[in-house]
Chain A
Amino acid sequence: MRAVCWHGVHDVRVETVPQPRILNPRDAIIQVTLTSICGSDLHLYDGYVPSMLPGDILGHEFMGRVVEVGGEVQNLEIGDRVVVPFPIACGQCYFCRHEMWSLCDNSNPKAWMAEAVYGYSPAGIYGYSHLMGGYAGGQAEYVRVPFADVGPMKVPEDVVDEQAIFLTDTLPTGYMAAENCAIKAGDTVAVWGCGPVGQFAILSAYLLGAERVIGIDTVPERLAMAREHAGAETLDYEATSVVASLKELTGGRGPDACIDAAGMEASHGGLEGLYDKVKQAVRLETGRPHALREAIQACRKGGVLSLAGVYGGVIDKVPMGAAFNKALTFKMGQTHVHKYLRPLLEHIQQGRLNPAFIITHRMSLEDAAQAYEMFKHKEDGCVKVVLQPAAYWASS
């Protein structure tokens, strides 16, 4: 089969690799009909997530049809059309039983590695480094899905692939980021990053009752999308002082909740940006937490800081004094996707959410290398790329 393989920094190749097979009784094999590139994949592409090996198959946002099931999978049949949550979860451990699916105790075969780095191991994730289990990802024609009796959700035929695909990651990630803000009537939420996650965080904040949502980015078409599709007010962080503008926009109070949807590769001009770029390049820190620093500074007293953007290692100069003395609440983590699948599918079916608007590029899986470059550099107005394996590409 054809698959997108990581070979090093800024080096992904579409290669012919062996067909996946069932390895455990609760596995299924899915033939991928649609997959996409996530902002998290850029952290791998740029080499900021350790423990990648050349040849690793990328991709954790994918959907498709069941073509094979293991002996213990009773809920799926050949031909079922499913979306697959990006964290791999067993459904039976303490964490799965308490809806903390991305913290599953049993799905990381290389848990010892994550334990050494993080103290305890989170769940395995498709195509997301050996620290997260070394699972082959779904930017491929076929993918092996462990615990297939727990993760995959069948999609009704009236919901098309482009509406369903983001249930695997981006949509629940934006939603959980907003839910973590514990929004109350009258609240203002500020969102750093108007990429796919930021767009969905803005929409979800409104859905959960926010009075105002302010989106922050510098890429014009992303800011335009945040205004026109998600209904946010926007700020360009290169053109204004974000902290001062937010204060001004909120009558001097500051946003009630702040969402970091930019993550460890946030950019920043000036000396601070240079400082972090250098430190990150020599791996003295593994993230450039500009959005996070700004969000802490901007947040109102007693407010909530919700992190959707991914951090992998250590970061520098986080204004802990501001966070502490303003008594902020921090919420974060890989998304507990399983928990949100059904409620969000319902939002889509009822027409309250139509996530397909973020798609700017539809390409063949064969063109993945070009797609990564374009998404990374935000060329050609790229906000989100979906990739179709050749068989489907030809037929549509």
Chain B
Amino acid sequence: MSDVANINGYTESQDRSDLDVTVGERLLTIVGGGALAWYGLSRRSLLGLATAAVGGYAIYRSATGHAPVREGLSLVMSPAEQPMVVEETITINKSADEVYTFFRNPENLVRLMDSVESVEVQGEGWFRWIAEPIPGAEVVWHEDIVEDRPGERIVWRVAPDADIDSHASVTFTPAPGERGVETRLRFEVYPPGGAVGAAVAGLFDSIAAKRVKQYLRHAKQLLETGEIATVEGQSSGRSDVEVECW
């Protein structure tokens, strides 16, 4: 077996013959995020930020066939079970306080993440999130701000009763020469083993990074211009709605 990459605690293998591939894991590789949403739905489990981050997108990509779905299962958890991490950075042409205030308001987070339906403040820093990564598959979870440093950093963590522990953080660092604020958004997920672990891992590939980068772009656009650039709903000589090509 030859390791081609070892990123964030999972190993990607080219040779599948000696992998322990379970039926559930195979299912996952076919439906991508679908397995995760199914799991979340049937167990009413609180998958939290991981779902918000990537669930809907992975489903969309595999359903529309626009992204390469992995052939067979090529992901195994390494025994270390370190968190899987997606981290992306963008520079926003605003002050650290303005960017912090923006991220601290849950209503703004809903605007960034297209699979998230709503976030309710439940007092004492608790939030109740509702996401619908696929139509009809509602996922609900609670999370808490565990670190709150105005102008510097916010860390969210899902409630302890969640099946999968995950955090998200956003960190603000002033860029040199009045170039704004370097804004670093990071998702960390501690996956369980087995099929679900693999499901979570499957979401944390490059698709997840792209999605997280898109959230940051939306934040930058809202902060700098007051709106999110879009072509959705514009006219064309196609009868279908605008879709992403490639």
Residues on A facing B (Cβ under 8 Å): 1, 3, 5, 7, 13, 15, 17-21, 23-26, 51, 53-57, 72, 90-94, 97, 105-113, 124, 130, 133-136, 140, 144, 146-147
Contacts and interface: CB of A to CB of B under 8 A. Distances in A.
Given A25-B226, A94-B93, A19 B231 contact: no
Given A92-B224, A105-B220, A106-B224, A134 B237 contact: no
A390 B157 CA distance: 60
B5 interface: no
Contact of B234 (A15, A106, A112, A136): A136
Nearest to A52: B245
Given A53-B245, A93-B93, A13 B237 contact: yes
Contacts of A94: 91, 93, 179-180
Contacts of A72: 226-227
B235 A3 contact: yes
B225 A20 contact: no
A106 B229 contact: yes
Contact of A146 (B179, B214, B224, B229): B229
A109 B229 contact: yes
Interface of B: 91, 93, 179-180, 210, 213-214, 217, 220-221, 224-238, 242, 244-246
B245 A130 contact: yes
B233 A23 contact: yes
Contacts of B179: 94
A106 B220 contact: yes
Given A94-B179, A106-B220, A111-B217, A134 B93 contact: no
Given A112-B213, A112-B214, A135 B234 contact: yes
Given A57-B237, A110-B244, A134-B242, A92 B93 contact: yes
Given A23-B230, A105-B220, A90 B225 contact: yes
A17 B237 CA distance: 6
5 contacts: A23-B230, A54-B238, A93-B225, A105-B224, A146-B229
Given A93-B93, A97-B93, A112-B214, A133 B231 contact: yes
A106 B231 contact: no
A24 B228 CA distance: 8
Nearest to A110: B244
A18 B93 contact: no
A302 B37 CA distance: 62
Given A51-B246, A112-B213, A124 B236 contact: no
A17 B246 CA distance: 24
A21 B237 contact: no
B113 to A, nearest CB: 15
Nearest to B229: A109
Contact of B245 (A51, A91, A106, A147): A51
A20 B231 CA distance: 11
B238 A55 contact: yes
Given A23-B230, A105-B220, A112 B235 contact: no
Contacts of B210: 112
Nearest to A142: B235
A20 B234 contact: yes
B231 A134 contact: yes
B221 A106 contact: yes
Contacts of A136: 231, 234-236
A133 B91 CA distance: 20
Residue with the highest number of chain B CB atoms closer than 10 Å, among A106, A130, A133:
A106
Given A21-B233, A25-B226, A53-B236, 13 more contacts: A1-B235, A5-B237, A23-B231, A23-B232, A26-B227, A90-B221, A91-B225, A94-B179, A110-B231, A111-B217, A112-B213, A133-B231, A136-B231
B18 to A, nearest CB: 33
Contacts of A133: 229, 231
Contacts of B245: 51, 53, 130, 134
A20 B244 contact: no
Given A26-B226, A92-B93, A112-B210, A54 B237 contact: yes
Contacts of A92: 93, 224-225
A20 B246 contact: no
B235 A19 contact: yes
A24 B229 CA distance: 8
Contact of A93 (B213, B224, B234, B238): B224
A56 B237 contact: yes
Given A19-B235, A106-B224, A113 B229 contact: no
A93 B91 CA distance: 10
A238 B67 CA distance: 47
A145 to B, nearest CB: 11
A25 to B, nearest CB: 6
Given A51-B245, A90-B225, A94-B180, A57 B230 contact: no
B162 to A, nearest CB: 29
Contact of A109 (B226, B231, B236): B231
Contact of B225 (A7, A18, A106): A106
Nearest to A124: B229
Given A51-B245, A92-B93, A56 B214 contact: no
A135 B226 CA distance: 19
A112 B213 CA distance: 8
A198 to B, nearest CB: 32
Contacts of B231: 23, 109-110, 133-136
Contacts of A91: 225
Contacts of A105: 220, 224
A291 to B, nearest CB: 30
B75 to A, nearest CB: 22
A23 B234 contact: yes
Contacts of A54: 237-238
Given A23-B232, A23-B234, A109-B231, A147 B225 contact: yes
A152 to B, nearest CB: 16
